[in-house]
Amino acid sequence: MHFAPFVCIGILLLPWFPCTWEKCIFDQVQRSIKVVSPPSGQYASAHWPLPRQRPKRAEKNAESMAVPQPIRIKVWIPSESPALSDWERERLMTAVDEAVSEVSSLLSVRRVPDSLLLNRDINKYCKFIWRNSSTVNNMKCGRAKENYRFESCFGVNIPDEHLNGCAVYPHPEHPVPTVLRPEGTGVPDTDFLLYVFTHSTDKCKAESSILAYAAHCQADSEGRPLAGTMVICREPLRMERYTHERYVQTVIHELFHVLGFSKELFSRWKDCSLSSQAVVDCWPYGQVISTDEMGQFRLYSPTVIRAMQKHLNSTHDDLGAPLENKDVGSDGLSSHWEARVLQGSIMAALLVEPSLIRIDPITLAALQDTGWYSVNFSRAQSLVWGEGEGSQFGSLSTCHNSSTFFCTDSALGCHYLHFHKGECLTDPYLDGCHVFKPLANTSECWIKENERSGMNEESGEIYGSDSRCFISNLTRPNHSPSSHVSAAGHCYRHRCTGRNKYQIQVKDSDWLDCPAGKSVEVSGYQGFIFCPDNRLCKYSDLAPPTSRQKADNLLNISISIKSDHDVKEKDASPHHNLVPLSSVTVSKPEIIVAAVLSIMGAFSLLSAAALIYRKCSSARVRVHAANEPPYRSQFQGTDGKTKHGQ
């Protein structure tokens, strides 16, 4: 609620000003849901053996023991959904489809055999249950509730064909039931059923920065979520400024929640040896949530701890992943990562500009540790934030020291991914720590059009798809020679010459080596350029949005980049103003208008332009890109998902 003043000011000044962040209300909604499980014995966890004993469970179902395969998430639009325009439906479904296929490329499950059938809540249809162990119908329903109509999932009526049947046993000893509802046919080839409901709900109206929210409502006997509802807020769906990429990210984020990344489910996570696929043994971790010495809740599950150790380059053997301490319920828990430590993760509480969000290894480790999924870690995206910084990274005691990730008040610099010029700011989730956030307008070094906004002539800036942000105080000597120029973020071209090795080019200069972690002078200029260490030419899966579109296409022609350690050292020739710029030019007037409106509006237009561009010219991209090894060496992504309908 510290946010209220910001929001109000924003609304007062610019009623149409879109939030540049998006809040997630998952915890709020999931808490209100009663999750329905199979009638026999609620959650199986109640019957689990003690940890580490690992007795073999009876072979009950050969198929459930099978090798995990990509999760099949079926999307179902409830009949009560309002009519959408073709355009709205198209954008909704393409985003949901893309998110679903991304998630199923990441997560595998032991598939549901045949058809998925959801359960009815016995407390809903049954007035009383026979309870006499010496009678035939012990624990069966004796009488139906007269007003029983349907099952629902977070407000959506579940069709009868998705549900198990139900029956009542009017006499305690008479085994023949009266069928109340026949058995449904189920949903074939489905491991998770997602009801997608578009509506302008009160929650949507209350918080304009919400695009969607979700909750799960059904689980199997192991506790794995089987079905959930995602509410897509109606109003934002009409607005072009919310980009396709933003919707995809939002849907993935909410899907991760409903599939298991939920504080309501942490206690049900269990250790399953999915690797030995012949027999599946699971045993509960016991407590995976605990506080650290600073009183912050952390998630301590084995894969998460290993992922944190690897990420922070720490051997600290008790390094859990910290949970957000803002917007928490009375239990103090959140289903999001702490923003100071895992900034930029898809599971951080604020969803920011999509190109800056990463599906990171720690989030995937958490999904692995649910015990329900087998995760394809080769598809993880490098988080970058905090990498190799040690176990104290992001703590309140160290974040106020200026570092390459944190900054101190009111400085100008670069966003840590170096695509954007940045301003040192905080937000409610950062607990007073400051980071460089993209400037409100024209902050993207990779957008050629930003060059014309002036103010960059004397510092020799060059914008374009291969430009990145560098902190510098470079000036032309003839420009106010006496005054001291303070350092700020500036855009210069770069090209990779190796891993963490690159050259830069300033206006009217040659290509110069820019040794990572050092500063360089440029002839014809006064001042220095600081060359960032471990940011540029290190991660093959980092690219500005326009380039990423190309990277996607590159994937289709099968290139063998497997990890972010695979930077090609050769052929580091510069790539001149890349083709996406032509599409930007087409919508230039709109972009300038959008830049005035907001950074997000600008992003939406650019992404739209990029999408149109991609749709129209993938062949050209391929030819162009195929001739440019350095391009793929830096920009080739693991996020090269295949797109539907292309």
The DSSP line for 342-371 is HTTBTTBSSB--GGG-B--HHHHHHHHHTS
H-state helical runs in 2-78: 4-13, 26-31
C-beta of 376: minimal distance to ligand NAG in Å?
4
Rounded distance, CA 498 to CA 19, Å? 39
Per the DSSP assignment, residues forming a β-bridge with 198 are: 232
Q: Is 26 in the site for Zn ion (CB under 5 A)?
A: yes
Residue with Cβ nearer ligand NAG (402 or 618):
402
Rounded distance, CA 29 to CA 25, Å? 6
Choosing from 98, 222, 254, 444, which is the catalytic residue?
Answer: 254
Interface residues for ligand NAG in 256-315 (CB under 6 A)?
313
Report the partner that residue 37 touches, choosing among ligand NAG, Zn ion, none (CB closer than 5 to 8 A by kind).
Answer: none
Contact at 8 Å (CB) between 406 and 433? yes
Report the partner that residue 26 touches, choosing among ligand NAG, Zn ion, none (CB closer than 5 to 8 A by kind).
Answer: Zn ion
The DSSP line for 571-636 is ------S-THHHHHHHTHHHHHHHHHH-HHHHHHHHHHHHHHHHHHHHHHHHHHHHT-HHHHHHH-
Contact at 8 Å (CB) between 48 and 270? yes
Q: Is 453 in the site for ligand NAG (CB under 6 A)?
A: yes
Q: Is 485 in the site for ligand NAG (CB under 6 A)?
A: yes
Whose CB is nearest to Zn ion?
A: 24
Report the partner that residue 398 touches, choosing among ligand NAG, Zn ion, none (CB closer than 5 to 8 A by kind).
Answer: ligand NAG
Q: Is 578 in the site for Zn ion (CB under 5 A)?
A: no
Question: Which residue in this structure is represented by tokens 């309501």?
Answer: 264
Residue with Cβ nearer Zn ion (26 or 195):
26
Q: Which residues, at least 6 apart from 253, have a Cβ–Cβ distance to it below 8 Å?
A: 24, 346, 347, 351
Report the partner that residue 24 touches, choosing among ligand NAG, Zn ion, none (CB closer than 5 to 8 A by kind).
Answer: Zn ion
Binding string, 6-25, against Zn ion, x = CB under 5 A? ------------------x-
Contact at 8 Å (CB) between 367 and 259? yes
- The residue count for binding Zn ion (CB under 5 A) is 2
Interface residues for ligand NAG in 587-606 (CB under 6 A)?
595-596
C-alpha distances in angstroms, 228 versus 10, 37, 158, 526?
Answer: 34, 13, 10, 60
- The residue count for binding ligand NAG (CB under 6 A) is 24
C-beta of 7: minimal distance to ligand NAG in Å?
19
Q: Is 401 in the site for ligand NAG (CB under 6 A)?
A: yes
C-beta of 225: minimal distance to ligand NAG in Å?
21
Q: Residue-wise over 239-264: b if at least 16 C-beta within 10 A, else e?
A: eebbbbbbbbbbbbbbbbbbbbbbbb
Rounded distance, CA 334 to CA 24, Å? 11
C-beta of 378: minimal distance to ligand NAG in Å?
5
DSSP SS3 for 510: coil
DSSP state for residue 446 in the 8-state scheme: T
Report the partner that residue 453 touches, choosing among ligand NAG, Zn ion, none (CB closer than 5 to 8 A by kind).
Answer: ligand NAG
Q: Which of these, 585, 606, 583, lies nearest to 594 by C-alpha position?
A: 606
Binding string, 127-146, against ligand NAG, x = CB under 6 A? -----x-xx-----------
Q: Which three-class secondary structure string do you get for 454-505?
A: CCCCCCCCCCCCCEEEEEECCECCCCCCCCCCCCEEEEEEEEEEECCEEEEE
User: Which of 363, 473, 547, 598 is in the footprint of ligand NAG by CB under 6 A?
Assistant: 473
C-beta of 507: minimal distance to ligand NAG in Å?
16
Q: Is 398 in the site for ligand NAG (CB under 6 A)?
A: yes
Catalytic residue list contains 387: no
User: Which of 17, 48, 511, 528 is in the footprint of ligand NAG by CB under 6 A?
Assistant: 528
- Residue numbers of the site for ligand NAG (CB under 6 A)? 132, 134-135, 313, 376, 378-379, 388, 398, 400-401, 440-442, 453, 473, 475, 484-485, 526-528, 595-596
Per CB under 5 A, residues contacting Zn ion are: 24, 26
Q: Mind telling me the catalytic residues?
A: 254
